[in-house]
A and B are shown apart, each in its own frame.
Chain A
């Protein structure tokens, strides 16, 4: 087994050993999913048409924006990355492996939701023949969210900062992305703002590409925005990564991280024109 796979296997096991990660990867999103299935299905039957993508995106955001960044900061603060550097662990592995590990956990949760929401709560499934499109949108979403989660960990100077940055994306996404409230029910002025969030683009892509529902933007544009944002966030994570809480070289400007949201600005502009 190569060093990369040893590292990935260890990272995956940590997600099961660490109670905080276990909570954010599995317990919290699946509990929320069960509650939403039991309550929202009765209060708002329309919710069931997008329940599967909404709960998958919600679970993905919990795993990546809330669970992924904290361990990155604490590893840096505790000298783990210094030790890794001395022993030849490349920065790319340090950035990429926790992303992949988180995506694996996220995929287990997503599979549980996708396979049980129909039988348990009567949630709508993807249209026949569009399942692969749904998988494609899921992968683009997982990659984008995991890259953004890693970028938050890389630029945050403390665990408190990770919570702050994570919540900047997480909380508005729950209200504005179409997960809980359909986009067409939002005040007109908020729709362009909602498109600045990855969750909105993911929901739009799921609705159009997998569920065959009407969308505000072209699902292909939404998927491209997710992929572009993920790639930019990954590149910036490697570029802005520091091995030590005391900078080992010239400090790089952390505000560059905002560039990761640029593709969503483009998606918003396309919607407006």
Chain B
């Protein structure tokens, strides 16, 4: 395996009786990368993650994390990976402090109370897990997943149920962890999160990869139109009969002229030239690419 590759999935297959959950799946994850695993419910994300975490055995193909086979070498895997499960996974009566001591003791490291403070749980350190809010439970789960400084972290819906400040704090922490060279596999339904955080994403559908690449590559590969919103002083763009290149449709909304273009560079140049020629100073210009969410919907609907 290439030393820069920390996860390698080859021809992976997972079945449950007659149901094929994952079939012939292939992907690699590089060191220090945030890799997003996206897909609708039942696409095979959980089966893939659980097999990589050593919780389930593959029915075919091979999995490799840092040279370790998760199905056969689970003992070696434990200190290499950190996992934040989607469900709580902690005893209801365990306090925040006890949880940190407990899991760090099993990993053979000193408790990381700094993480409890960092994730805003210091005032809750003596509270039992079942008395924490959903967001606090998720933050604790994340603290426990990274406390033993694993080389690969699996995060399953890490920001579900979190308020905006907690999401921002968690995204900052993820970026910091990545900058230390730690690899993160992020399974999420939140396309905005994947687009913001992931270096590369794979979209799983019916147990296979339907699309893979950087968020920018995926959105660029779609048939979506770029939205260009323009506000000028004299509103000359609101007049009918003006044609700009590559524009499929246009409308006026909240004083802005909004154009949907298949070639935003060409369209923006033409608009700016038009405004200058008509002595109508530009007040605001916004260009919005098709989002990953739109591309995701496009892919999933096309495959149905």
Tell yes or no: A10 within 8 A of B by CB: yes
Known: A14-B91, A249-B57. 13 other contacts (CB 8 A): A3-B105, A6-B102, A6-B105, A7-B102, A7-B105, A10-B98, A13-B93, A17-B93, A83-B83, A83-B89, A83-B90, A85-B55, A86-B54
A70 vs chain B, min Cβ distance (A) = 12
Q: Is the interface of B mostly helix, strand, loop or mixed?
A: loop
Residues on B with C-beta less than 8 A from A1 are: 105
Residues of A that sit less than 8 Å from B by CB: 1-3, 6-7, 10, 13-14, 17-18, 75, 78-80, 82-83, 85-89, 243-244, 248-249
Tell yes or no: B53 within 8 A of A by CB: yes
The answer, among A2, A78, A85, A244, for a CB contact under 8 Å with B105, is A2
Contact between chains at A82 and B55 (CB < 8 Å): yes
- The A/B interface has a contact count, at CB < 8 Å, of 68
The answer, among B54, B79, B92, B102, for a CB contact under 8 Å with A10, is B102
Interface residues of B in 211-258 (CB under 8 A from A): none
Contact between chains at A88 and B105 (CB < 8 Å): no
Contact between chains at A86 and B53 (CB < 8 Å): yes
Interface size class of B (residues with CB under 8 A): 20 to 34
B57, B79, B106, B107: most-surrounded residue (chain A CB, <10 A): B106
A3 vs chain B, min Cβ distance (A) = 4
With known contacts A79-B87, A82-B55, A248-B56, A87–B103 Cβ distance under 8 A: yes
Give the complex CA separation of A180 and B103 in angstroms: 46
Residues of B that sit less than 8 Å from A by CB: 53-57, 74-75, 78-79, 81, 83, 85, 87-94, 98, 101-103, 105-108, 128, 144
Contact between chains at B85 and A79 (CB < 8 Å): yes
The answer, among B55, B57, B94, B101, for a CB contact under 8 Å with A86, is B55
B290 vs chain A, min Cβ distance (A) = 37
Residues on A with C-beta less than 8 A from B106 are: 3, 87-89
